[in-house]
Homo-oligomer: A and B are copies of this chain.
């Protein structure tokens, strides 16, 4: 798999080497290919090949959006069937408006874990798309932004917009060999986005490279489109997060992660262990269901009265955990979060980025998880464990591929605290370049095209 970074495509669009119509047509063909995964990756497809947007930083680029973003006059279904006949959205979600204003062409809405409430990407209503790296064995794409990642690996879009509440952008990016970015939540408006957990929800891109994510992020946050400077590796102090985030790594993950750290050290970065003594407190604070259970229960409460039999039972069971939490427990959780964030600020002080494996495992088979609730919940807990740390910390994080070509995809998380986003992009681009040079990652940064596109 060799994907084209979006800024290269954008440059070709600008210089007339390709036409937006043709790109859209190719995406639609890939979606409609009966041998492909389009039927399971997309919930709604737009007749976009006729759109010819005029200008903007994303002019003419076909992208996909997750099925939880409002698009005017459509019901927003979030991967469910029960919302099929809900009131159509009156407006586009703010991010959708911004993407359209920037010239992006929407190819469709991607499949997802129902209501975004799992990190695996299984969807019993619309089917589960098969991960591109090992299609025969039908492995999961990761979730909840499952179709989002698939749309990029399978040429059904050039980039995808997902949401990340506990890892829902970073997990599918990691398991599919892509780059995913979870911003500091407050930077990108959640207006018009169907919520899972408003305390944790954030909106982020999945795309081939860090610079692709940065460009999409700048459009969605309505911040400057000029990219941050790539960090100089010898200036970078990387903290390798210790503790349970390193437990139970599958051999492929442990190897790829260690290789990446070796590459960084050899490139001159300062790679140090970082202890964060309150890490375990996140687990205990979340023991009664965390934010997602009560916040989703509050949102779904009235729907549950009427439609509980139409929910994915595994999603339903996670929502229902929120029913019995008391207000005082919820307030304790808020207070604990505040304390833990304060302690993280001390622990991470002086580092340019915190790194850890995005997930401890590579993508398991869909059939194994469909067959067994125990296997499903075990895998789900494992996949969410590391990414969710940075949702809880109100932080920011990239996941970039760090496996060798031909190996199962493994994600490296490059993370930080609230509003470290620009710093993380600068460090992320440097670490990505180091991995690319060492032959670990699949994409090259293509800085020349990038510089031209950012003008």
Choice from B294, B295, B322, B328 contacting A294 with Cβ under 8 Å: B328
Closest Cβ of chain B to A222, distance in Å, is 22
A329: Cβ under 8 A from any B Cβ:
yes
Complex CA distance for A323 and B331, rounded to whole angstroms: 12
A264 at the interface (CB under 8 A from B): no
Nearest Cβ distance between residue A166 and chain B, in whole angstroms? 18
Chain B nearest CB: distance from A325 CB in Å? 4
Query: Most chain-B CB neighbours within 10 Å: which of A298, A327, A332?
Result: A327
CA–CA, A331 to B300, complex, Å? 12
With CB as the reference atom, state the residue of chain B lying closest to A328. Answer: B298
For the complex, count residues of A whose C-beta is within 8 A of B: 17
Assess whether A390 is interfacial by the CB under 8 Å rule: no
CA–CA, A301 to B294, complex, Å? 20
> Does A115 belong to the interface (CB within 8 Å)?
no
Task: Give chain A's interface secondary structure class.
Answer: helix
Closest Cβ neighbor of A199 among chain B residues? B331
Q: Which chain B residues border A330 with CB–CB below 8 Å? A: 327, 330-331
A437 at the interface (CB under 8 A from B): no
Query: Which residues of the partner chain B approach A294 to less than 8 Å between Cβ atoms?
Result: 326-328, 331
* Contact residues in B for A262 (Cβ distance below 8 Å): none
A-B residue pairs, 7 tightest by C-beta: A294-B327, A327-B330, A298-B331, A298-B328, A325-B327, A297-B328, A327-B327
Given contacts A294-B328, A298-B328, 15 further A-B contacts (CB under 8 A): A294-B327, A294-B331, A295-B331, A297-B327, A297-B328, A298-B331, A298-B335, A301-B328, A323-B328, A325-B328, A326-B326, A326-B327, A327-B327, A327-B330, A330-B331
- 28 pairs, A vs B, C-beta closer than 8 Å: A294-B326, A294-B327, A294-B328, A294-B331, A295-B331, A297-B327, A297-B328, A298-B327, A298-B328, A298-B331, A298-B332, A298-B335, A301-B328, A322-B327, A322-B328, A323-B326, A323-B328, A324-B326, A325-B326, A325-B327, A325-B328, A326-B326, A326-B327, A327-B327, A327-B329, A327-B330, A330-B330, A330-B331
